[in-house]
Structure 1
Amino acid sequence: MQIDIIAVGKVKESYLRDAIAEYSKRLGRYCKLGIIEVADEKTPENASEGVERQIKAKEGERIAKHLRDGAYVIALAIDGKMLSSEGLANEISQLGLRGVSHIQLVIGGSIGLDDAILSRADYKLSFSKMTFPHQLMRVILLEQIYRAFKINAHEPYHK
């Protein structure tokens, strides 16, 4: 299975890059992983709703260039469906059983995803009602994908 993480912005902190590299290496046993970074837009302090919409639209256009026909697109969104780790593992397993061979997970920038990307998504996934830094979210997402593959392979992993 091909899994792509499409994320807005670069990861600047070395400890997060190290964690991303570690989970990417671990996932190599289970899937082909791609991490695609698209440029983020600077968001001015106290930006108006209109300016935020423009920023999300620009970032959305950059994301859209990487979305592939036939790929199952999962957008990370606060208002998406929350799953347990076992629930995510089951979703990935069911997609595989339905013949889906390419999953693309999209992480927006600091102000979220453009409505066009949310509309294009086949599934909206929420990790929490809390807001996480989008750079940290990449690590959390990779860890949960790794955990899902371990669950599906009936292999032990810490709880």
Structure 2
Amino acid sequence: MRLAVIAVGRLKDGPERELCERYRERSIALGRGIGLSGPDIVEIAESRGRRSDERKREEAQAILAKAQPGLIIALDERGRALGSEAFATRLATARDSGTGHASLIIGGADGLSEEIRDKADITLAFGALTIPHQIVRALVLEQLYRAMTIISGHPYHRV
């Protein structure tokens, strides 16, 4: 199953980008042996709309144009918290059922549109905190790597 992180906004050079790249490279190396590839990083330009609803709508159109058919996981503060092991199980189940793609979607500063949340198979939150979308990207990539270690039996994940 091919993984993609679709994120609104461009991550500038710096420690956040380096951290994201580190987890992405680890995931690529580990995923080969367990039927997972990627994650690809797809950056969507931030809308220049004047109103929040307009920006979210424009960003949603761009996101949906890039998302491949398959599992859609939206990162949204209104989502539900899911433990790392449960997240790994959801990915493994999708892979084992023949799902070809999984897209993890991160909105911009205004969040995700209702349309994206409605289309999502899973709406996931990293707790009740509001987290900057640049940091959410690093968290998503770390959790993808962690899920792969759980699936493969690698000792990275400790309880």
- What displacement does 1:33 show? 1.8
Deviations 1:73-123 (A, max 9, x none): 111111212111111111111111221121000000011001111111111
Consecutive unaligned residues in structure 1, runs of 5 or more: 45-50
Q: What amino acid is aligned across from residue 129 of structure 1 in structure 2?
A: A
Secondary structure class of the residue paired with 2:137: helix
Aligned-CA RMSD value: 1.5
Q: Deviations over 1:38-96 (max 9, x none)?
A: 0113587xxxxxx2111111111111110223x21111111212111111111111111
Matched with 1:48 is: none
- CA distance in 2 between counterparts of 1:130 and 1:106 reads 18
What is the percentage of aligned positions where both structures have the same residue? 34
CA distance in 2, matches of 1:41, 1:13: 21
With normalisation by structure 2, the TM-score equals 0.89
Q: In the alignment, what sits opposite 2:133?
A: 134
For 1:111-130, what aligned pairs fall within 5 Å after superposition?
Answer: 111-130=110-129
User: What is the Cα deviation at residue 13 of structure 1?
Assistant: 4.8
Checking the alignment, whether the CA contact within 8 Å between 2:146 and 2:157 is kept in structure 1 is no
Q: List alignment gaps of at least 5 residues for structure 2.
A: 32-36
Residues 1-23 of structure 1, C-alpha deviations (whole Å, 9 max, x = no match): 20000000011251011011111
Query: How many angstroms apart in 2 are the aligned matches of 1:89 and 1:64?
Result: 24
Q: Distance in 2 between matches of 1:32 and 1:89?
A: 15
8 Å Cα contact 2:71-2:103 kept in structure 1: yes
1:62 corresponds to: 62
Q: For 2:100 and 2:68, how far apart are their aligned partners in 1?
A: 12
Cα distance in 2 for residues equivalent to 1:158 and 1:4: 22
- Provide TM-score, normalisation by structure 1: 0.89
Residue in structure 2 matched with residue 155 of structure 1 by the alignment: 154
Q: Provide the secondary structure at the position in 2 that maps to 1:146.
A: helix
The answer to whether residue 35 in structure 2 is matched with residue 36 in structure 1 is no
2: distance between equivalents of 1:84 and 1:117? Answer: 22
Q: Distance in 2 between matches of 1:81 and 1:97?
A: 23
For these two proteins, the number of residue pairs brought into alignment is 152
Displaced runs of 4+ in structure 1, greater than 2 A?
A: 41-44
- The residue type equivalent to 2:59 in the other structure is E
Q: Say which SS state the counterpart of residue 10 (structure 1) adopts.
A: coil
Aligned residue for 2:66, secondary structure, equals coil
